Amino acid sequence: MALGSLLLLMLPWLVTAGRAATPGCKIRITSKGLELVKQEGLRFVEQELEHISIPDLHGKEGQFQYNISGVKVTDLQLALSNLHFRPPQHLAFNINNASISLRFRRQLLYWFFYDIGSINASAEDVNIRTRLKLSMDKVGRLKISNISCNASIARMQTGFTGTLRKVYEFLSTFATTGIRFLVNRQICPALRYAGLVQLNSLLDTVSVRSPVDEHISIDYSLLSSPVVSPDTLDLDFKGMFYYRWNETLANQAVAPVIKETERMVYVAFSEYFFNSAMDAYYQAGVLSMEIAGEEVRRDGVVGVQMGGGAGVLGVQMG
């Protein structure tokens, strides 16, 4: 009997503990909103590919010896790209039919003929497939927890300059095959580093708690990892105002719901978002109500002074 009574007393606590935290704020990004992000993502990829580090290449095929060095990316054409949602937690970013122009220095030896000069090359029909897994870190920041990548180059084209240009054009297959291999091998590591290190380092600078004014602050940390559908990305935030790290107000409100998908971005708030703001101001002593007997007029209207001179509210009595 005593055990049964104890379980009944603990039941409300057990239900609350087993239930996921309820968000005070929800943000939805739709496919239309993702189009704006795509342009920034494309510029970011261009910057990373322009600075990829390609090692020198040495080789020998029979009497033909070559040394390729100083490989630099001179131009990028990433016209065809798309960014879309990939359930349950991913963003997919694809680049199709791109081209990468390169310039590098050559040293070629064929029998007794020695030639040096530069090579202009172009990687054609470049295709890149990336998947970014979105999650949250321990303090509730958005982070990229994993990146999968696959890159391919269909063909390489070269243009030689120098004294033996005609002689070596038919031998360019050896050099271009090696460069194609090196460029292809460097694309995905560069993008993984950019996402997992550089982007996450930038996200780490975002504070999840910020002051609103001299009285209260707000906690907008994530409560769970982002939820991705084919058309939307949903983010659940704590959405709680507080005074001096005091979090005594429990969230018993209904979670905000967003059903629409027509616009770029939607934001929804629960009652808790506003209630926590009022409670935080009350804890800070900003909201106060003082009613003096002489302030009650014959018509029953009472003057209510908001602490700190925030405003005056008329309240009808009776």
Between the CA atoms of 202, 207, 212 and 214, what dihedral angle is there, to the nearest 10 degrees?
A: -110
What tokens were used for 255?
């979670």
Pick from 119, 113, 114, 115: nearest CA to 179: 119
The per-residue pLDDT string of the chain (318 residues; one tens digit each, 9 = 90 and over) reads: 433 333 333 334 333 333 458 999 999 999 999 998 898 889 999 999 998 888 888 878 777 787 888 989 999 999 899 999 999 999 999 999 999 999 888 887 877 777 787 888 899 999 999 999 999 999 999 999 999 999 999 988 876 655 556 555 655 666 677 788 888 899 999 999 999 999 999 999 999 999 999 999 999 999 999 999 999 999 999 999 999 876 668 899 999 999 999 999 999 999 999 999 999 998 998 876 665 555 555 554 444 444 443 333 333 333
Q: Give dist(CA 127, CA 10) in Å, integer.
A: 58
| Residue 281: predicted pLDDT | 92
Is there a contact between 232 and 134 (Cβ–Cβ < 8 Å)? no
Domains observed in the chain: 31-204 (3.15.10.10), 288-318 (no CATH)
Q: Give dist(CA 223, CA 225) in Å, integer.
A: 7
ω before 88 within 30° of 0 (cis)?
Answer: yes
| Residue 21: predicted pLDDT | 86
Helix, strand, coil share (%) of the chain residues, nearest 5: 30, 40, 30
Is there a contact between 85 and 91 (Cβ–Cβ < 8 Å)? yes
* Angle at alpha carbon of residue 231, lines to 227 and 233, rounded to 5°: 30
Q: Give dist(CA 206, CA 39) in Å, integer.
A: 22
Q: Give the pTM.
A: 0.78
CA-to-CA separations, 224 to 39, 182, 220, 221, 237, in angstroms, rounded: 27, 40, 12, 9, 8
Q: Give dist(CA 73, CA 71) in Å, integer.
A: 7
Give, as one character, the DSSP assignment of residue 253. Answer: S
Tell me the one-letter amino acid at 12: P
| Residue 160: predicted pLDDT | 63
| Residue 246: predicted pLDDT | 67
Side-chain-facing half-sphere of 224: CA atoms under 13 Å: 18
| Residue 316: predicted pLDDT | 37
